[in-house]
A and B are shown apart, each in its own frame.
Chain A
Amino acid sequence: MSWADIFLEAVFYVFVLLTVFGGLLAVRTQILMYTVLGAGVAFLGVAGLFMFLGSLFLSMMQILIYLGAICIVLVFGIMVGYTPRQVAEQGIRGQNLLLAVPACIASIVLLRSAVGRTIWPSAPAAERDFSLDAVGVHLLEKYGLAFELISVLLLIAIIGAIIVVTVKEDPR
């Protein structure tokens, strides 16, 4: 194992740690802006994992869509909607924490053991074509219907969001 491989492995660990601690920060902090920050860090880690999975394109798309669009929309939602006293939320009130944390830990241990016990079939590792050309051809030929549907879904989401937000306030 050369030094480049060791360095790459270290970078991989860094991305895994970013994902894990970003997720923990996103669900455990009490200030909502920190929640968005933690989710952004987790998304950045997932983008790095995509790069290790061989797709630089998806890594860039993850950063563009999740960090560039979704996090900004969430920050807008926090800043526009809530009064400053409400940008912090109280944590869980108590007794359910004793049930929720062991349930989550047990779930992840069970999933880990299931993943570890399964014998995955290994694919032929040769001629992997992760190039952008293949993705584009697939999007426009084989999965053209899904591509069109996602376009229509985004259009409907935009129009629906505008309609929902600009609805008249109830005069009470």
Chain B
Amino acid sequence: MLSQDLKTYLVVAAFLLIIGVYGVVQRRSFIGMLISAELILAGAGLNFMAFNRFIAPEPAVGQVFTLIIMGIAAAETAIGVSFILAVYRQFKTIDPIQLNELQESCLCGIPEADDGPVVPSGGEPGDQDI
């Protein structure tokens, strides 16, 4: 039975890890990258629980660890979403490729005449449309 086999859970956790890494690499918005990181953390928790269930001699330790991972994931999401909101308010973009400058003055290099959203070179206009 597959549900009583350690390898099944490990393969599912590995799938979550790989697909999370793929999402972090491939996503074009910060929220998508954050969600992919959450998938990675869920895979890590599943791994902990699987090893705890089938191998570890102490059954409650894995549950404690998974609870701590969940707490860290919640804190990470709160901080991440607040960062994303602050970045979006400052720079008016969700594209990580356009946010390649840490220093704010580089984004203000556009003449002061227009106060529209700053679109640095590299992003095609209308790229965010469906």
Mask, A62-101, CB within 8 Å of B = 1, is: 1001100110011011101110011011111000110011
- B119 contacts A by Cβ under 8 Å: no
Mask, B40-57, CB within 8 Å of A = 1, is: 001001100110111111
The number of chain A residues touching the other chain, given as a range, is 35 or more
Chain A nearest CB, measured from B14 CB (Å)? 4
A43, A92, A146: the one within 8 Å of B64 (CB): A146
Complex Cα–Cα for A128 and B56 (A): 10
Question: Residues of B within 8 Å of A, CB-based: how many?
Answer: 78
- B86 contacts A by Cβ under 8 Å: yes
Hey, which chain B residues are within 8 Å of A13, CB to CB? 2
Interface of A is mostly: helix
Interface residues in chain B, defined as those with a beta carbon under 8 Å from any beta carbon in chain A: 1-3, 6-12, 14-23, 25-29, 31-32, 34-36, 38-39, 42, 45-46, 49-50, 52-57, 59-61, 63-64, 66-68, 70-79, 81-86, 88-90, 94, 104, 108, 115, 127-130
Complex Cα–Cα for A158 and B75 (A): 8
Chain B nearest CB, measured from A152 CB (Å)? 10
A74:B31 contact, CB within 8 angstroms: yes
A143:B64 contact, CB within 8 angstroms: yes
Chain B nearest CB, measured from A107 CB (Å)? 5
Known contacts A20-B12, A138-B60, A170-B104; decide if A90 and B128 are in contact (CB<8 Å): yes
Closest A residue to B60 using CB positions? A134
Complex Cα–Cα for A121 and B21 (A): 29
Hey, which chain A residues are within 8 Å of B18, CB to CB? 104, 107-108, 111
What are 25 A-B contacts with C-beta separation under 8 Å? Answer: A20-B15, A23-B39, A26-B36, A27-B22, A32-B32, A43-B42, A66-B73, A70-B73, A77-B85, A78-B31, A81-B84, A82-B94, A91-B28, A100-B26, A108-B15, A111-B11, A116-B7, A122-B54, A123-B55, A129-B59, A134-B60, A154-B74, A161-B78, A161-B81, A172-B115
Interface residues in chain A, defined as those with a beta carbon under 8 Å from any beta carbon in chain B: 1, 5, 8-9, 12-13, 16, 19-20, 23-24, 26-27, 30-32, 35-36, 39, 42-43, 46, 49-50, 52-55, 57-58, 61-62, 65-66, 69-70, 73-74, 76-78, 80-82, 85-86, 88-92, 96-97, 100-101, 104, 107-108, 111-112, 115-116, 120-124, 128-130, 134-135, 137-139, 143, 146, 150, 153-154, 156-158, 160-162, 164-165, 167, 169-170, 172
